């Protein structure tokens, strides 16, 4: 009985390894950006109006942009985040450092 169990366990292990190596068991990363989108984002990066500012204590991405344009934010927060990340090589806005200088999108026009 023990031999049958070990034999079946061995077959199952070999089958699982085969499936893992051929089809894979991890989901595909759907967050990868296609190359043509990256090229388009690079073109947008060059045409987007931006200003440079140093982050002071208590400031956020939204407060810095609103203080610069002297009015409420004219775009959605998602668009603001995407523009900020494209200007700063994918830097997450929630990880900005106090005292560091970043490029911020300029929506004053």
The total of structural domains in the chain comes to 1
Q: Which two tokens stand for residue 4?
A: 């049958």
CA distance from start to end of the chain: 80
Q: Which tens digits make up the pLDDT trace of 57-78?
A: 999 999 999 999 999 999 999 9
Q: Is residue 19 part of a domain?
A: no
Q: Is residue 91 part of a domain?
A: yes
Q: Which domain holds residue 61?
A: 33-105
Helix (H) or strand (E) holding 35: helix 35-47
The dihedral through the CA atoms of 37, 40, 45, 48 has a sign that is: negative
Q: Is residue 50 part of a domain?
A: yes
Q: Is residue 2 part of a domain?
A: no
Q: Is residue 74 part of a domain?
A: yes
Q: Which tens digits make up the pLDDT trace of 4-59?
A: 999 999 999 999 898 888 887 666 665 555 555 555 555 554 578 899 999 999 99
For residue 103, list its beta bridge partners: 52
CATH number at residue 60: 3.10.350
**What pLDDT sits at residue 31?**
59
Contact 51, 68 (CB under 8 A): yes
Contact 52, 103 (CB under 8 A): yes
pTM over 0.75: no
């Amino acid at each position: 009985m023990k031999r049958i169990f070990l034999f079946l366990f061995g077959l199952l292990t070999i089958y699982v390894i085969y499936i893992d190596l051929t089809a894979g068991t991890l989901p595909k990363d759907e967050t990868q950006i296609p190359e043509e989108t990256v090229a388009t984002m690079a073109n947008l990066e060059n045409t987007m109006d931006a200003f440079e500012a140093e982050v002071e204590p208590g400031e956020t991405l939204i407060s810095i942009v609103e203080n610069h344009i002297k009015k409420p934010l004219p775009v959605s927060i998602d668009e603001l985040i995407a523009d900020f990340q494209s200007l700063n090589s994918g830097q997450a806005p929630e990880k900005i450092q106090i005292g560091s200088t970043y490029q911020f999108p300029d929506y004053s026009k």
